[in-house]
Amino acid sequence: MGEVVEKNSALSDLIVLDLTDEKGAYCTKIIADMGADVIKIEKPGGDDTRDLPPFANDVEDREKSLSFWHYNTNKRGITLNLEVPKGQEIYKKLAEKADIIVESYPPGYLDKLGLGYQDLSPVNPGLIMTSITPFGQTGPYRDYKSSDMVGCAMGGFMTTHGYPDQPPVILYGDQGFHMASNNAAIATLIALYFRDMTGDGQFIDVSMQAAVAASVEVYNLVYIYQNDVMKRQGTRHATFGPGEMGNLIPCKDGFICTFGSPGPYDWMEADGVAGKLLEDPRWVDDIEFIREPENQAYLRERQIEFAKFHDKEEIFIGCQNMHVPWAKVNNFEDMFNDPQLRDRGFCVEVEHPELETSFIYPGAPYKHTETPWKITRRAPLIGEHNEEVYTKRLGFSKEELSQLAQKGVI
């Protein structure tokens, strides 16, 4: 497979070395999907993230991890042993020509190998190195081990989810890793802008714990300014009020999110379930009146009575047409068939030539008019681009590559 970058891609002039695991793979995916030439460096035999399930067609194969596929689109893949002198020598040659390095090794690991930012920046002053670790490069926890769940627990995210009388719960989807990666991508692009102005690179220290702690919105503010620890609210938004069901109410085929809006009173009246909701004008726009516990309980009762006669699509479309911001709670079948996402081209088809088929991937949450996001290549096979990178970039012969492979260097 040929070069991935195109001239109308936003980051097509950048060379990026990717030394990340789950903590940073989404960061380099963002950069790769916007056109940068991202070279994923794996240990000989392949990265451990290739062992993460689920696998395509439920066949356990290191080349068929769906997680690896998703997080490594548009990247080229090479193998290299950083713990042997020859591997370190080759890595330094690659780093001399790189614009960005993103890594997620434990603090100090690359420094011990002579491959840290202080070792590389003298020969490449414009180099930007972004390090993503559980707790950052400094502080009493810097050497502690972590996982996505640990990051969400230590960053305060976990304590915001669940019911007040039950233990905290964790949301699915590696939220801590994603928060760290998103912040790392933003910080890296800011550093790139600074380099464009000054010519200077820099080292970026990203803490997953700090990225999570910066993302818990109102919980932070209430504690900082009111010295109060907010209680978990179950399915209700933290700023609304009490109530067992909160902002979610059941309907015929699932759930509806009411987003704190009282509801489509006229429609409820037409269905004969509004009760006294239209008798007092304060039900319309007096928020304090509506939030009184006894009124909340009555309102929730009326909403549930109304919703049980309708399916979620009917309620969603009907309420939106009445300028009531209720929404359906999509399951994943709903989401990937959602007409809005389909209209925006969220689902993209990616070819896997070695399997003689293609697969549907989730796309990007943003659109650029001049430099569009796109997936032009599936994740690399193990060492797929060794010959391409090592011969074209560094001048190795095929015979030399064969010898390096026999010695366990690549």
Digit-coded pLDDT (tens) for 364-377: 888 888 998 989 99
* Cβ count within 10 A of residue 115: 21
237 is catalytic: yes
pLDDT score recorded for residue 7? 59
Distances in Å between the alpha carbon of 323 and those of 10, 22, 286, 343?
A: 38, 41, 18, 22
Q: What's the whole-number average pLDDT of the chain?
A: 91
H helix or E strand, kind and range, residue 175? helix 175-198
Closest CA to 116 of 137, 135, 97: 137
* C-alpha–C-alpha distance, residues 32 and 87, integer Å: 24
pLDDT score recorded for residue 132? 98
Closest CA to 150 of 181, 131, 175: 175
Interval 181-187 mean pLDDT = 98
Using CA atoms of 59, 60, 61, 67 in order, give the dihedral in degrees to the nearest 10. Answer: 100
End-to-end CA distance of the chain: 20
Interval 146-170 mean pLDDT = 89
Interval 308-319 mean pLDDT = 96
Whether residue 307 contacts residue 250, with contact meaning beta carbons closer than 8 Å, is answered with: yes
| 225 Cβ contact partners less than 8 Å away, ≥ 6 residues apart | none
Interval 71-80 mean pLDDT = 98
Residue tagged active-site, from 70, 161, 178, 237: 237
CA angle 149, 155, 160 (to 5 degrees): 85
Whether residue 179 contacts residue 207, with contact meaning beta carbons closer than 8 Å, is answered with: no
pLDDT score recorded for residue 243? 43
Q: With 90 as the cut, is the pLDDT of residue 223 above it?
A: no
* C-alpha–C-alpha distance, residues 407 and 40, integer Å: 21
pLDDT score recorded for residue 344? 93
Four-way CATH pick for 15-215+346-406: 3.40.50.10540, 3.40.50.1980, 3.40.1400.10, 3.40.50.2300: 3.40.50.10540
Phi, psi dihedrals of residue 353, rounded to the nearest 5°: -55, -35
What are the residue boundaries of the structural domains of the chain, listed by start? 15-215+346-406, 248-329
Residue reference for tokens 């085929």? 253
Closest CA to 42 of 79, 8, 17: 79
| 68 Cβ contact partners less than 8 Å away, ≥ 6 residues apart | 47, 49, 50, 52, 379
Per DSSP bridges, beta strands 15-19 and 37-42 are parallel
Cα 173 off chain centre by: 8
DSSP 8-state code for residue 37? E
pLDDT score recorded for residue 1? 37
Cα 10 off chain centre by: 20
In DSSP terms, 248 is beta-bridged to 257
| Identity of residue 383 | G
* C-alpha–C-alpha distance, residues 39 and 130, integer Å: 15
Q: With 70 as the cut, is the pLDDT of residue 325 above it?
A: yes
In DSSP terms, 16 is beta-bridged to 38, 100
Whether residue 58 contacts residue 212, with contact meaning beta carbons closer than 8 Å, is answered with: no
* Confidence category of residue 237, pLDDT binned at 50, 70, 90: low
* C-alpha–C-alpha distance, residues 83 and 99, integer Å: 23
> Would you say the pTM of this structure is higher than 0.95?
no
* Cβ count within 10 A of residue 206: 27
pLDDT score recorded for residue 240? 56
Maximum C-alpha span of the chain: 87
pLDDT in tens, 103-128: 999 999 999 999 999 999 999 999 99
* C-alpha–C-alpha distance, residues 388 and 334, integer Å: 42
DSSP 8-state code for residue 233? -
pLDDT in tens, 2-50: 444 455 789 999 999 999 999 999 999 999 999 999 999 999 999 999 9
